Structure formats: structure tokens, C-alpha cells
Amino acid sequence: MDIMQTSDSSHHGIVENSPYRTPYGRHVESGNLGGSWYFSRKEIEENSLSRKDGIDLKKESYLRKSYCTFLQDFGMRLKVPQVTIATAIVFCHRFFLRQSHAKNDRLTIATVCMFLAGKVEETPRPLKDVVLISYEIIHKKDPAAVARIKQKEVYEQQKELILIGERAVLITLGFDLNVHHPYKPLVEAIKKFKVAQNALAQVAWNFVNDGGQQPNVGALRAKPRGATTVPRE
């Protein structure tokens, strides 16, 4: 597959020299990153394919945070529940545990993960909406982007990119789409201890949400600080 979209790409958002990388990298094949999605920070660092491609920890952390921010904005524009956004972030973290940032554009992968998360969480959005809104956000500094993505040729290119990407993400994740969010047990605990209006509840929400920025994948979520609305189950 020799198609990848970059966030600072050519006029039509397509470059032809860098594929989605499938199947798994050699670290997964050798068993270093096995079936479980729970890893120590040391394990994640030692098995980072991005690091082996010359991306240091600071840069990789920036890339992770940038796609989390993108997904939060993207999800709000798509009007999906917070749990869907959280699932998309988890998928993205999982993907980049097994793939390198140097070979896969993070915003393209993030778009694919949102499309996939919508279906997994039973909050699907039409592929057309996903393509249009993602492209507009990625190229928000380009005044011509809104009109360009409505051109049939450009739209079809981006649509195909997402569909190819969906297969790549599914293969990389080993078709494991199970995500256990911490929101439900947190809500139950808040009710049990009757601290809904307490500062402790807000601290708990912030703690859970901030986890979405870190790649200790398995219980990672993201939600804006200060938001106390319980996400839809």
C-alpha cells in the first residue's frame, strides 16, 4: 500500500511514497509486545519503533498529544459521545505501539480510528462526514481546503485513504477492539461515596481524563479538564 496523507502535505493532501505499514512490526512478531494491551513505561520505551526511526521521546510525546487534541476537536465536530472519542484515542495509542510515527501520518491514522470507534461504540458517523470534517480540520490554515475537499477527485482520494487505513489499523490491532473504559466504575464509586458535588469527584475525572495522553494502553481516555458530564454508556 503506497498511499499516505500528511498533515502538511501537497495541494491535494496525498503523497505517494509512504505506506501504512502492515502487518505488525518485528517486535510484535517476536512477542515483545504481545496480546495484552497493558505495558510498563519501560516496556513501551524499549519497544518504540518510532525511536528506532530516529524520533526521540520528546518528539513522540508531542505527536501523541497532538493526535489526542485532534481527536477531541474532531469528535466534537462530529457530535459523537465522549466515550467514542476516548475509544478512538485508545485505538490510536495501540496502533502506534506497534507502528512507527515516521512511517504513518498520525492525523490520518487518528481519522481512521475515529471512524472505527464510531462503529465499535454504536455511534457511527457517515464516511462522508468523517472525510470532510477531518480534511477541514487538518487543513484549517488553508482557506481553499473546504472547497477543495468537495471536488469529486479529491474527495474520492481521501475516502479511499480512510478505507485502506481502516484495514491497516484493524490488522495492526489484531482485530482486538475491546476497550474497557474507567468511566462507569468511576461513576459508580462517586455515587457510592456520595461525592458527586465534591472536589474529589473533579480530581478523579481529571485523573482519568489525563490518562488519555499517555500510552499505557488499555485504560486510556481523554476528556477536557473541568468537564463533569458523565459520558453516555
- Consecutive 10-residue averages of pLDDT for the chain (233 residues): 37 33 41 62 84 91 93 96 91 93 95 97 96 96 94 96 95 88 75 75 70 46 34 32
pLDDT (0 to 100) of residue 2: 34
Whether residue 229 is contained in a domain is answered as no
pLDDT (0 to 100) of residue 180: 77
Return the closest-CA partner of residue 96 out of 83, 82, 84, 110: 110
Statement to judge: residues 155 and 59 lie in one domain: yes
> Taking the model in full, what pTM does it have?
0.72
φ, ψ dihedrals at 15, nearest 5°: -125, 155
Whether residue 131 is contained in a domain is answered as yes
Q: Which residues of 120-130 are buried (b: 16+ CB within 10 A; e: fewer)?
A: bbebbbeeeeb
pLDDT (0 to 100) of residue 210: 61
Whether residue 93 is contained in a domain is answered as yes
Statement to judge: residues 126 and 154 lie in one domain: yes
What would the DSSP string read from start to end of 77-105? HHT--HHHHHHHHHHHHHHHHHS-TTTS-
Statement to judge: residues 199 and 126 lie in one domain: no
pLDDT (0 to 100) of residue 211: 60
Question: Which CATH number do you get for residue 155?
Answer: 1.10.472.10
Whether residue 21 is contained in a domain is answered as no
Whether residue 226 is contained in a domain is answered as no
Q: Range of 203's domain?
A: 180-214
pLDDT (0 to 100) of residue 204: 75
206/223 Cα distance (integer angstroms): 8
Statement to judge: residues 202 and 139 lie in one domain: no
Statement to judge: residues 148 and 208 lie in one domain: no
Statement to judge: residues 154 and 170 lie in one domain: yes
Grid cell, residue 218, equals: 488499555
Q: Is 79 left (phi over 0), alpha (psi -120 to 50) or beta?
A: left
Statement to judge: residues 200 and 172 lie in one domain: no
* Domain total in the chain: 2
Statement to judge: residues 198 and 108 lie in one domain: no
pLDDT (0 to 100) of residue 217: 39
Return the closest-CA partner of residue 218 out of 73, 100, 24, 43: 43
Statement to judge: residues 68 and 173 lie in one domain: yes
* Packed helices 57-78 and 82-98: angle between N→C axes, nearest 10 degrees: 150
Radius of gyration, alpha carbons of the chain: 18
Whether residue 141 is contained in a domain is answered as yes
Statement to judge: residues 155 and 204 lie in one domain: no
In single-letter form, the type of residue at position 74 comes to F
Statement to judge: residues 84 and 195 lie in one domain: no
